[in-house]
A and B are shown apart, each in its own frame.
Chain A
Amino acid sequence: MRTNDLRSSPITHGTSTRRDFLASNAMGVGHVALAWLLSQEGLLAKQENLAKARPQFDLTPKQAPGEPRAKAMISLFMHGGPSHMDLTDPKPELTKYSGTKYGDDIGYSFINDASKILYGSPWQFKPRGRCGTELSELLPQLSEIVDDICLIRSMHTGHNGHEVSIRFMHSGIAGQLGRPTIGSWLTYGLGSESQDLPAYMVLTDPAGHPVDGVHNWSNGFMPPIYQGTVLRPREPRIFNLDAPQHLRGRLQGQNLSLLAELNRRHLQKHPAEADLEARISSYELAARMQVAAKEALDVSSESPATKKLYGLDDDVTRDYGTRCLIARRLVERGVRFVQLFLGSQPWDNHANIRGRLPQLCARTDKPCAALVKDLKERGLLDTTLVHWGGEIGRLPVIQGKDMKKCGRDHNGQGFSMWLAGGGIKGGMTYGETDEFGHRAVLDKMTPNDYQATVLHLFGLDHTQLVYEHNGRKHRLTANQECRVVREILQNG
């Protein structure tokens, strides 16, 4: 049996260059020698070490192995299942047969309310932009950026439930908890570009957490440095960010110098102790964050035109607009992944879709479009991938008895989402649902296809980006059949 081979461990190499790897990083720091780096250097295969040696992790920026198009991503997550046949996927046949009985099988979630009566969209669709993609009158602002987006009309999770599909979208396996989310994988693979801010940030809604709560930004089995850092929906968006009034400025500076001095002496007695070094860096970072995060989260310096663009001048759009604007500011400052959530699941229009859908569109349409426009104007859209979409769509039939107050039930068989920037081809649609919008029939795209494509845009190969846990190699796409959808890439 092996006796001496442990000496040749690459971990050894990692230890000796511990300081090189050690970088201060927002919200998560320290730690070294991660599987990713090793595999990049082709060392993993040679690694022969004690079983389960506790690996260590950091957020230093890492070179993507492929050719990255995107550097950052903003995901506008739309919980509940936006009604695609009312928003993004016109169905003339559905309108034509509205009120008649649907002939095919349907999987319902709410059986007691089930109906087979087809329900044509009460809203008008028109061709928009140079590309002529048809969009609903509920999304006038999206129409203005339609030439910059790729509208995917053939999303398919195969599951009608919210949580099942949410988890599928975020972390690769339908319904499964305990797995890292896309943001975790991106920060694990690429680290952070910002020395002053967390790499993965989440902007929650004043109405509360979305359905499935903290699982939406879970690091799963990865270390907590890959967890989404939640910004509170109101001030203070980060707890304890502000120094107390009476210590601000030079005093706190002196306090921190004293602390650094105490820690430096302590470290001398415990040389090369990574955890102690990490803690020291965490104070440095926190001090920088007091300035950087404060500045990043403060939209007051934005021009009046920009504020207007995002709808900060209007009560209806102010909250979501402010968060979209903050998202842009974070990405500008090197944050890798930002995700916006709405409270609960407002797109879940089981009833009174005529009343509720327009309200929600009014709240979000303008800020979402503003984000893309603004990024483009600032030359950031090329490197920033923007995602808009939920976990499911809705059924073409009515839910409830009354056509006036009806809603639509869940549909994971076919729905829409859109992507923009970061190497995505604009002004196109991809995939189709059937004539009623029930099932994706052409170029079906699963959450895993979406994830593989996202990673590809960042220069990462979804089959190669692995994380070892409990003796198994894990991937975002979970070894499920999927592909990079090259048809929607600029240089596919």
Chain B
Amino acid sequence: MTRSQTRVETLLARFFFLAAAVIVVLPAAAAEPLTFEHNIRPILKVHCFDCHGANEDVEGGLDLRLRRFMVHGGDTGAAIVPGSPEESYLYRRVRDGEMPPGDVKMSPEEVAVLQRWIASGANTARDEPETLARGVGITPEEREFWSFQPIRRPALPKVSEAGRVRTPIDAFLLDELQRRQLSFSPDADKRALIRRAYLDLLGLPPTYEAVEAFLTNDAPDAWERLVDELLESPHYGERWARHWLDVAGYADSEGDAEGDRVRAFAYKYRDYVIRSLNGDKPFDQFIQEQLAGDELVQPPYRDLPPEAVEKLVATGFLRMAADPTVASGEDTAKNQVIADTIKVVSTSLLGLSVGCAQCHDHRYDPIPHTDYYRLRAVFEPALNWKSWRNPNARRISLYTEEDRAKAAAIEAEISEIINERATKEQEFVLTALDEEVKNFPEEVRESIKIAYKTPSQKRTKKQQALLDAYPSAKITGGVLYQYNSKASDEIKKYTAKMETLRKKKPFEDFLRVLTEVQGQVPQTHRFHRGDHQQPKEVVAPGGLTIAAPEGKRYDIVANDASLPSTGRRLAYARWLTNGRHPLVARVIVNRVWLHHFGQGLVATPGDFGKLGAEPTHPALLDWLADEFMSSGWSLKRLHKLILSSTVYRQSSTRQTEGDAVDPSNQLYWRKSVVRLDAEVVRDRMLAASGELERSMFGAPAPISVHATGQIVTASARRSIYLQARRTQPVAMLKEFDAPVMQTNCDQRPSSTVASQALLLMNSDFILQRAVAFARRLRAETLSTTTGNPEQLAEQAKRAWRLAYARSASADEERTAREFLATQLPLLKERDAARREREKEAAAKKSDDEKKNEDKKKDKKKGEEPLDPELQALTNLCQALLSSNEFLYVD
């Protein structure tokens, strides 16, 4: 047996043991001897180490990190007496609720385990170390955790039914299925397949024609070719960028409490992601650019070639956290930006919630308090809170030298005009003063003039009093118009001239980037309890200790002499992507899997730690991670591999056997039916109604506040291009679970709530799409005659093709006919009644009123009632757009 095979089996065995353990509440625990390392230390780590071992100052002199320390005890004597819980001070204090102090106590189960351990002799799993370094450290038990193991390529399991195995992925899954006497479901029909592929890879539906062409294509590799074709579509990048933007926490606003100010240039990062994915940029490079693109470009950042711009824009990833320092200079706000940035990095790339370690050792995962600050030190030269740059100060201008020279010349001209204007203004003011003093008593006129001309800080009290007594002498440029309107107009001409000149300045475009300030190498301190006002020892940059083998912790050089920057982020990014990091590749392939199947192999994509879920198929996860890295970190190859697999091509129909064993389809015996993401729902509606505007990239499409208070947009661009304000989420997207960015979004929920139904019944959004859809049908079937039921039925038939990319069945055609036939008389009746009412009202109105009416009508254009046929068709369209066939993919 090979080593990797053994490992697979061990992993599997452990998986099933844990699977049972989690739910059955440790039934086997009574039989197994309790040890300090396995059973007690984890409890003490959560509840006690903070005061009794983690820090230099140990409360009551009691250190609980080793059994022998406990036996030795602290100021009040031995903490435990092996064999006798009642004599054990530690146990008694805990049992009586005196320890730990504060609100969070041990659970009764935990107290019971402690009691049993002491009673059974307080055993350890092995000899305890002679010496123990400061801090909580990482134990061998913690190192054994699955996600910290190196990624090794497991051997493929041997399975029967080899015919169903199209790719190695299938072998791993089938192996598990067969252990439960299950197998894959039959392949889905081609219609379902092409729909699935389009919505999954492009987030857009196939056209009817594309479906028909695929159906008639009998080539054995028709499916593979289709997948290739879709992966080459520019819309692929739009769809998959959205997934990455979720974890990156993309937003077009800063999230400051005052105004949630707009980030005018953040969209370039969004475009960078789309372009990178479309170009299948190797993911290791993609990661490196996002973490350290600036360190790959030689400063100064001027006259930048496109490749340099691209690398700089990539660092927008590290600028996605909410940044209220645009409005507030508070240290707390600055440190929060750093903490949020670390959260984005760690949840997206490491699949770990390192945030807990900001204040203390992570209570569940082996992430010491200092490790958090090692990570922080990687970013601190660029996010230096002691010498903070607010968002505007961080921008890089795209001015070329030529632009700059041109702009400077214009500015010089402008300042000349400013001077001219000031001189002119002064002249006018003095002339006005000469006139004004004529209204004052003669004896004060001269003294007032002198007082006026004296700079205010040099005026005597008497002079000031004099001016106060004759306030109309206090003439300034701003009030000049009250004295001499001609002079004022003259001055305005200068201003107009300046405006004209300013407009001639070349447009100044900016990049939103993360950079370091050359020469600034701040020290990172560990913050006691995460409080930046309590800095402790200096911490050097490096990776998480647990992410490297024992004794091989990755330390980063504080300042790389070969680079103008410190090089810390670049070093870190290269280490993350060197192929040996245990988390990065697993986390990435798991995300890809999640988006293809609606669930991850690890159900908690942002938490691969102890509080996260265990992988359902650990061997497959490792195989995919290894395959991903060894085929050049190519996302497109990974998609292709997955889509070529039987698991992806299965039918979604429920089967009795599968339902009986695994109703939630954790074993992948079918393809699960999933609701489309919010953006796909909206984009698909726009595609069906013919409104979808497919232009790519650029500044976000504007949003606005609807009369009801909901956020809407008039744009028909794909949803990824809509402005993403943190405080103004587009109602339609938010309702269907699109994230409203606080920091970032690990995984979207998929909710089914009545407010969604109300939106699809009554909102302007759906009504407008339905009208546009109906108008499209009318236009495309070239039917101008109204009232012809045959033509209406023809239009209805076409609606099926546009909405579902398939023909209506005979049944459906009949349903549509019947529907239209029921609605038409009612609508005609209403229409006639309305006309009658309008006529009557018009007869009663004066001409003036009619004029007003006309004006109002102009304003309301597009809102006038539809003719009955169009309304009936619109209603049919609305039903199609809000149906399950439209909202789900099977």
- The interface of chain A, by Cβ under 8 A from chain B, is 1-4, 6-7, 9, 11-12, 14-15, 26-30, 45, 47-54, 158, 173-174, 198, 223-225, 229, 232, 236, 238-244, 246-247, 250-252, 254-256, 258-259, 261-263, 265-267, 269-273, 275-276, 278-280, 282-283, 285-287, 289-290, 470-472, 478-481
Contacts and interface: CB of A to CB of B under 8 A. Distances in A.
Given A224-B753, A240-B755, A275-B888, A255 B878 contact: yes
B837 to A, nearest CB: 13
A210 to B, nearest CB: 15
A197 to B, nearest CB: 9
A11 B663 contact: yes
B819 A270 contact: no
Contacts of A173: 103-104
B432 interface: no
Contact of A48 (B20, B662, B878): B20
B851 interface: no
B6 to A, nearest CB: 15
Interface stretch (B474-482, B543-551, B610-618): B610-618
A53 to B, nearest CB: 5
Interface of B: 13, 15-20, 22-25, 97, 103-105, 107-108, 179-180, 599, 603-604, 607, 611-614, 616, 652-654, 659-664, 666-667, 673, 675, 708-710, 731, 749-763, 767, 811-812, 815, 819, 822-823, 826-827, 830, 865, 871, 875-876, 878-880, 882-885, 887-888, 890
18 contacts: A27-B754, A50-B662, A53-B662, A198-B754, A239-B708, A239-B710, A239-B763, A240-B761, A241-B758, A255-B761, A259-B879, A262-B880, A270-B652, A270-B890, A273-B673, A275-B750, A286-B758, A479-B107
Given A48-B24, A255-B879, A263-B883, A246 B871 contact: yes
A44 to B, nearest CB: 8
B736 to A, nearest CB: 12
A266 B885 contact: yes
Nearest to B609: A470
A428 to B, nearest CB: 28
B661 A286 contact: no
Given A54-B664, A225-B751, 7 more contacts: A11-B663, A28-B751, A29-B753, A53-B664, A255-B878, A262-B812, A262-B880
A254 B819 contact: yes
B17 A1 contact: yes
A50 B731 contact: no
B752 A251 contact: no
Contacts of A269: 653
Contact of A271 (B17, B654, B885): B654
Contact of A282 (B19, B603, B752): B752
B616 A51 contact: yes
Contacts of B876: 258
Given A263-B883, A276-B884, A282 B753 contact: yes
A246 B752 contact: no
Nearest to B15: A51
A470 B22 CA distance: 10
B604 A470 contact: yes
Contacts of B823: 251, 254
A195 to B, nearest CB: 11
A424 to B, nearest CB: 26
Contacts of A265: 811-812
A239 B735 CA distance: 11
Contact of B822 (A254, A280, A478, A479): A254
B654 A258 contact: no
Contacts of B664: 11, 50, 53-54
A47 B21 CA distance: 11
Contact of B826 (A12, A15, A240, A251): A251
Most chain B Cβ neighbours within 10 Å, of A4, A14, A261: A261
A116 B311 CA distance: 59
A285 to B, nearest CB: 5
Nearest to A271: B654
B884 A267 contact: yes
Contacts of A239: 708-710, 731, 755, 758-759, 763
A15 B661 CA distance: 11
A69 B675 CA distance: 41
Contacts of B880: 262
A200 B871 CA distance: 37
Most chain B Cβ neighbours within 10 Å, of A263, A267, A286: A286
B773 to A, nearest CB: 14
Given A27-B753, A54-B664, A250-B826, A276 B888 contact: yes
A256 B758 CA distance: 11
Nearest to A232: B709
A47 B23 contact: yes
B762 A242 contact: yes
Contact of B887 (A238, A279, A480): A279
A255 B875 contact: yes
Nearest to B819: A258
Contacts of A262: 812, 815, 879-880, 883-885
A51 B659 contact: no
B622 to A, nearest CB: 18
B890 A479 contact: no
A290 B180 CA distance: 47
A480 B755 contact: no
B110 to A, nearest CB: 9
Contact of B752 (A229, A278, A290): A278
Contacts of B761: 240, 243, 252, 255-256, 283, 286-287, 290
Nearest to A236: B708
A256 B105 CA distance: 53
Contacts of B660: 7, 12, 15
Most chain B Cβ neighbours within 10 Å, of A1, A14, A236, A258: A258
Contacts of B760: 283
Given A53-B666, A224-B753, A276-B673, A1 B16 contact: yes
B18 A51 contact: yes
A261 B819 CA distance: 11
B530 to A, nearest CB: 13
A174 B103 CA distance: 8
A476 to B, nearest CB: 14
A478 B106 CA distance: 10
B104 A285 contact: no
B883 A259 contact: yes
Contact of B661 (A6, A241, A290, A480): A6
B180 A3 contact: yes
Nearest to A47: B23
A244 B879 contact: no
Contacts of B884: 262-263, 266-267, 276, 279-280
Most chain A Cβ neighbours within 10 Å, of B18, B754, B762, B880: B754
Nearest to A250: B826
A333 B879 CA distance: 30
A243 B180 contact: no
B143 to A, nearest CB: 20
A480 B103 contact: yes
A49 B754 contact: no
Contacts of B616: 50-52
Contact of B612 (A1, A224, A286, A470): A470
Contacts of B16: 1-2
A26 to B, nearest CB: 6
B815 A261 contact: yes
A28 to B, nearest CB: 5
Query: When A and B form their complex, which 7 residue pairs have the shortest distance between CB atoms, in order from nearest?
Result: A286-B757, A51-B19, A240-B758, A240-B762, A259-B879, A278-B752, A262-B883
Contacts of A279: 675, 752, 757, 884, 887
Contacts of A174: 103
A481 B99 CA distance: 12
